[in-house]
Amino acid sequence: MRAATRRVGILVAALAVCGGMVGCSTTASVVKGATLFTAVATPKPQPTAAVQVPIRGTGLDQQVPIAVAPVRFRIESLGVDMTVAPVGLTSTGSMELPPDPANAGWYQYGSWPASAAGATVIAAHVDSLYYDIGPLAKLPQATAGTEIIVTTADGKDNRYVVQNEGMVTKPDVPWGQVFDRTGQPRLTIVTCGGEFDYTRRTYLDNVVVTALPEG
């Protein structure tokens, strides 16, 4: 019994490790205990492994898949229809955005709609003195249940339903969660809003909308 307990302990550890991985086997090795009964006639049976260690191939297909970029973003109920371009970082480490608020940016180093896990992050300026007010000025109206469609470069329409929408004071935005690459695949739309600091020329809040895949 003590041996069995230990074996289970190892198994739990192995499965816990497995939890962080994608596509690994969770078959419990205890099933193999059945061979103990059939092996009675054999003088010296081959042992069975104490733990089912996840095993995978090492071919090029084991790489992190190459992203299929979002190219268009729509909230039809609000009349929002924007192009989406892949963006990276500014020199100060913030997410880069297309200068024109009519265009959105997708954080190209994070998840994308076909990713197995994590948040696809799409953001746009809410306004600009040069270009005027952008479509995402309507983002605070994207309340729970609103449909969002993200078209990817392969022509696929990925449909999402808004779960929650909120304004968050900038220092309090949990950026680690916004850009999270683990957990359920989801869409996070970000722009600015709330009160404006006319001296620093910056909004005090971010508008953050989280949506989950439809169906």
Residues in region 13-42 near another protein by CB under 8 A: 13-21, 26, 28, 30-31, 33
Place of tokens 């609000």: 78
CB closer to another protein out of 10 and 149? 10
Q: Measured in whole angstroms, how far is the alpha carbon of residue 46 from the centre of its chain?
A: 44
Per CB under 8 A, 132 contacts another protein: yes
CB closer to another protein out of 33 and 145? 33
Q: Measured in whole angstroms, how far is the alpha carbon of residue 105 from the centre of its chain?
A: 16
Q: Which of 141, 169, 170, 213 binds another protein (CB under 8 A)?
A: 170
Q: Which of 38, 41, 201, 215 binds another protein (CB under 8 A)?
A: 201
Instruction: Give the whole-angstrom CA distance, residue 210 versus residue 186.
Output: 7
Q: Please, what is the end-to-end C-alpha distance for the chain in angstroms?
A: 46
Q: Which of 35, 36, 65, 76 binds another protein (CB under 8 A)?
A: 65
Q: Which of 53, 154, 156, 157 binds another protein (CB under 8 A)?
A: 53
Per CB under 8 A, 50 contacts another protein: yes
Query: Which distant-in-sequence residues (6+ apart) come within 8 Å of 98 by Cβ?
Result: 85, 87, 104, 105, 124, 125
Per CB under 8 A, 191 contacts another protein: yes
Q: Give the β-pairing of 119-123 and 186-197.
A: parallel
Q: Which stretch binds another protein (CB under 8 A): 73-81, 141-149, 155-163, 172-180?
A: 172-180
Per CB under 8 A, 145 contacts another protein: no
Contact by Cβ (8 Å): 205, 193: yes
Instruction: Give the whole-angstrom CA distance, residue 107 versus residue 86.
Output: 6
Per CB under 8 A, 187 contacts another protein: no
